[in-house]
Amino acid sequence: MVIQDMEAAQQAVLGAMLIKPSIVGEILAEVRDEDFVSPTHRMTFQVIRTLFSEGKKPDPIVVLHRLGASDQQPWREYIIDLMDRTPTAANVWEYVPILKEQAKLYHLRLLGERLAQAGSLDDAAKCMADGNAMMVDKPGLRYVTMEQALLDFYDRHKTRKEYLTWGLDKLNDRLFVDRGDMVVLGGYASAGKTLLAIQFAWHWAKLGRKVGFYSLETGAGKLEDRLIAHNMRLDFGKIKRSELIEDDYKALAMASKRLIQPTLEWVPASGMTVDEIRSSALSRGYDAIFIDYLQLIQGDKRRSRAEEVAGISIGLHQLSQSTGITVVALSQLSRPEKGGDGVKAPTLASLRESGQIEQDADVAMLLYKEEDTPHSRRILHIAKNKEGETGKIYLAFDGAHQRLYESVVDAPAPRKRREPEYKQVQFTEIMEDPDDPFREKGDQHGQSQSGPAAAAGDPAPGGPGTGQQLPSGSPAGGPGADSGSPGSGGGSA
């Protein structure tokens, strides 16, 4: 039985549910209220669904009882007619896709009427966003037994699975990113996250994927300059100063076909919302989109900043899951902390303004400098990887040609020896302290020191330089000192 129109599709699905109540649960997992555009058919579907949720068998008699008696609607004749038009429920799974397709077409026509009557560009944009959302197929519930899972496993692994590659061999070996995944690339300011994102986008475009690069911060001209420098190995400084020579332009002309063939599009996206990005990506048919960067997307200003960013992250995650578009969202990191050896390495907690970003990402990578110098190597830390291993990859930075490539040495740089800080030490004379534990007892009574120190000519206590008053008439050497002997401290003039 081939069903051509929307009315017949609605009748066929409802008739199958009445003829064979045992299939109602499976159909409810696939079909929704809005798939029945006729009020009468929708009401019947809602009654069947209510009975099923109550644990009651939705046979025709019970359904008729729930619909009730009405002079305006002869329900008995209606139910009989539904069952007559559907002689068997065997073809119900052919009816369901037709029902959904016809319902979608019906709603799109209504949306077209709304669009024709839109009073402003905002109203028109809302209509377009609703239309793009309708075009996305939302799969119904599916229950998989272990037997089915095993058979599915065999089917999926008969041939080698091809995942997205990144242009970096060490990254290809660790990441298993597929359509519909969300990747977060975080980085400190000037670490090179935009540059690395451009490299990834260009690599995917060269492989035949249609890529949209939504820039909410950097102008398209600046992105183009970086890409040309990267691809043509032209000096970035010469490009920025417009100092290209004739040979450079000849090289560009020779490579023009190679440069324009990949489908990579720049999209100035300042002020765009997640819904607007979604509509744009669907209308352009992108396989992957890059967003530079997440925190600049317009969110719900009525919420706190953390809630606003969390809502943006959830929206991007839903976009990737529902459309099958791979989303690479760049993210700022919180200001780096200073440690004993310089700037501390970032963690997932460094993703700025919301922990929801970490939760939504299938893969989260953090890019930062190994040392706090302009030409330092970069470290690409795979901090979260649902389908593989985490770890660090060391990248060399070629600023002149705007590229990051795998470092020959895949290990941390040896730590530089920290030179001790030399400070001048000052010595201060300590005046006599009566509590000095090293003073001899003889000192306290003004008697001369005995022993080698005194014999060597050291001044005795109370002698010159001590600041202690001597008894009048006493020689400088103290009682019993020979005033005429050399080195005694006294002597006649």
50, 66 contact by CB (below 8 A): yes
Give the rounded distance of the alpha carbon of 195 from its chain centre. 16
Same structural domain for residues 104 and 215?
no
| Per-residue confidence (pLDDT) for residue 83, from 0 to 100 | 84
Helix (H) or strand (E) holding 198: helix 193-206
pLDDT interval class at 72 (50, 70, 90): low
Omega of the bond leading into 293 within 30 degrees of 0 (cis): yes
| Per-residue confidence (pLDDT) for residue 483, from 0 to 100 | 43
Same structural domain for residues 257 and 343?
yes
Same structural domain for residues 185 and 129?
no
pLDDT of 289 higher than 50? yes
191, 336 contact by CB (below 8 A): no
- Those residues with Cβ within 8 angstroms of residue 138's Cβ, 6 or more apart along the chain or in another chain: 322
Instruction: Convert the pLDDT of each residue in 118-137 to its tens digit.
Output: 888 888 888 887 777 776 65
Residue 422 falls inside a structural domain: no
313, 357 contact by CB (below 8 A): yes
pLDDT of 215 higher than 70? yes
pLDDT interval class at 362 (50, 70, 90): very high
Cα separation, 166 vs 209, whole angstroms? 13
Same structural domain for residues 78 and 204?
no
Least confident of 226-235, 334-343, 379-388, 425-434: 334-343
Same structural domain for residues 390 and 250?
yes
| Per-residue confidence (pLDDT) for residue 392, from 0 to 100 | 93
Same structural domain for residues 93 and 180?
no
pLDDT interval class at 1 (50, 70, 90): very low
The beta strand positions in 293-387, using DSSP E, are 326-332, 338-339, 342-343, 363-369, 378-385
Residue 381 DSSP SS3: strand
Mean pLDDT of the chain: 80
Instruction: Convert the pLDDT of each residue in 80-102 to its tens digit.
Output: 888 888 878 888 888 888 888 88
| Per-residue confidence (pLDDT) for residue 454, from 0 to 100 | 45
Give the total number of structural domains in the chain.
Answer: 2
pLDDT of 152 higher than 50? yes
Residue 332 falls inside a structural domain: yes
Tell which of 406, 424, 452 closes a domain: 406
The beta strand positions in 177-235, using DSSP E, are 182-187, 211-215
pLDDT interval class at 467 (50, 70, 90): very low
Same structural domain for residues 269 and 337?
yes
Cα separation, 205 vs 287, whole angstroms? 10
Q: What's the CATH code of the domain at 186?
A: 3.40.50.300
| Per-residue confidence (pLDDT) for residue 195, from 0 to 100 | 92
Cα separation, 165 vs 197, whole angstroms? 13
Residue 415 falls inside a structural domain: no
Q: What's the CATH code of the domain at 52?
A: 1.10.860.10
Residue 162 falls inside a structural domain: no
Question: What average pLDDT does this structure show over 50-60?
Answer: 81
Report the amino acid identity of residue 66. Answer: R
| Per-residue confidence (pLDDT) for residue 488, from 0 to 100 | 44
196, 221 contact by CB (below 8 A): no
Tell me the backbone φ, ψ of residue 446, rounded to 5 degrees.
75, 15
- Those residues with Cβ within 8 angstroms of residue 40's Cβ, 6 or more apart along the chain or in another chain: 73, 78
Cα separation, 211 vs 201, whole angstroms? 7
Residue 482 falls inside a structural domain: no
Query: To 5 degrees, how large is the angle CA 428–CA 432–CA 433?
Result: 105
Expressed as residue numbers, the domain containing 47 is: 6-134
pLDDT of 197 higher than 90? yes
Tell me the percentage of the chain whose pLDDT exceeds 70. Answer: 80
pLDDT of 262 higher than 50? yes
Same structural domain for residues 273 and 175?
yes
Same structural domain for residues 88 and 174?
no
Same structural domain for residues 106 and 53?
yes
pLDDT of 343 higher than 90? no
Residue 493: C-alpha distances to residues 129, 364, 454 (Å): 115, 94, 24
User: CA quadruple 149, 151, 155, 161: dihedral positive or negative?
Assistant: positive
Tell me the percentage of the chain whose pLDDT exceeds 90. Answer: 20
Residue 112 falls inside a structural domain: yes
Residue bearing the bigger pLDDT, 401 or 53:
401
Residue 302 falls inside a structural domain: yes
Structure tokens at 287: 């396989």
Residue 420 falls inside a structural domain: no
